[in-house]
Structure 1
Amino acid sequence: MAKQIPFALITGCSSGIGKQLAITFADRGVTVLATARHVKHLEDLTSQHDNIEAFPLDLSSPSSIETLKDAIVTRTGGRLDFLVNNAGTHYAATALDLEVEEAVKLFQVNVFAVMRLCQLFVPLLRRSQCGRIVQIGSVTRDVPVVWQSAYNASKAALSQYTKTIRLELKPFNVEVIEVVTGFVRSNILHHGLFAPDDSLYLPIKSTIEAIKYEGNKNGMPAENYAASVVDKVMRQRVDSEIWQGSLSWYIYFIVTFLPLYLLNWLLFRKSNLRLLNESLAR
């Protein structure tokens, strides 16, 4: 009996990590079902790779997620080998300045849509000989990065959800892998930092911007990140967590072996938060 060509459904493939994941899976002989809000943004992928197919998906729309499920069932005959939840959005605001409505939108894309995708596609993954869910997470699940509290919280929620569903799906032979991502070059910061004109944190805004853009500039190239991640998730045996991206293992060491007060001290100094104490003392 001929071996079946595997299918990988990947969200958020229009650019950055998602685009490179699609290319890398395709280069490994996988049929990639790539999604983006607008399929015209996937024309570069589909025109250059016969085994990459485009599907529309708006993660902020529950009906769009349901429609995607029907389309994938029709295309694959009801089987899926990899569900790669890569798509996500970013929102850079402090806890005091964030707009709750924007935080709700953030959680819809980064958390709730992922939950629904898992619900809908686990039946397809169970029909695979080795169904795997790959969650593209972030080191911010463990690191309280200043000026992005809601984003950090969404990645922490995704991580705990991933740990739980990993246990719940174990009896059904569906593996769940979390990729804990460090710095990778991408356009995720294109919205910049939000702060109202009367924000208490304006004295350190330039410092935070420099940290974020320097980290992005010095991050791992997305193609290198994707190559390493795909190689690992396609192995016969795979770890439950994959730490990948610039500084990811350095951060792993810090959050695993150092006390929390020391991590907080490092971040306080790095973020120049002492300037706020000085401004209040004037």
Structure 2
Amino acid sequence: MKSSARVVVIGGGVVGASVLYHLTKAGWTDVVLVERKQLTAGSTWHAAGGMHTLNGDPNVARLQQYTVNLYKEIEKESGQNCGIHLPGGLMLADTPERLDFLRMAQARGRYLGMHMEMLSMKEAKALNPLLEEKYFVGALYDEDEGSVDPYGVTHAYAICAKNRGAEVYTDTWVTGLNHRPDGTWDVITDKDHTIHAEHVVNAGGLWAREVGRMCGLELPVLAMEHHYLMTEPMDEVIEYNKTMGRELPHIIDFAGEIYARQEGQSILLGTYEQEN
């Protein structure tokens, strides 16, 4: 384990691994990642893995579009399967006002070079027969939406970063941070070992608040419980795949706060509990 590094990244989820990868891609190779257990041991390993390019902020939308293309790049470079599926996605509008929002998103996406198309519900149901079109007034289709395997993506990032000189330390808890007068940091671990770093990145995810408290910061980060379910294999899914030769597109129902996508021969459906 190194005694000094230019950057120490705390947290081995997909965000921490992405930071490590992008630092090395920018030429910062004297960097390390410290993870308390194994890579993806926090919330990353059971994330639904959806990839969406629609966002109210055009800069975030552009970043999301960049990420979709990046996953293909790191999969090829690392040899790690990222489980990339790009069947496209349907964003559903339940009201005329929501439909206007999607039209605005399409116009913004066109400016950013995205491939989006407004559809009638008849056209949307032709793409995904599981839809019940009577509850919606229109849809926006994005051909670049899909899903990935978060475990595979995280390891692909880490492999690429290590190939460029980064180091990854698992089963290593960060127990404290000491800010030196010169602005550098001592990253204290449970291995009776301290790493001196110019910069520290807090990628602790669920534990980001605890990491912040190590240096006197109270971060407004709270864990939010979220559930998704997966059906048994469905005849409708199997028949669609056989007939169409492709996977079902994703669905996002904004009003219902529901997303759904194909997983194998089943449907993965996630939802957020609404206040009554």
TM-score, with structure 1 as normaliser: 0.29
Structure 2 length-normalised TM = 0.30
Q: Which protein has the bigger helix share?
A: 1
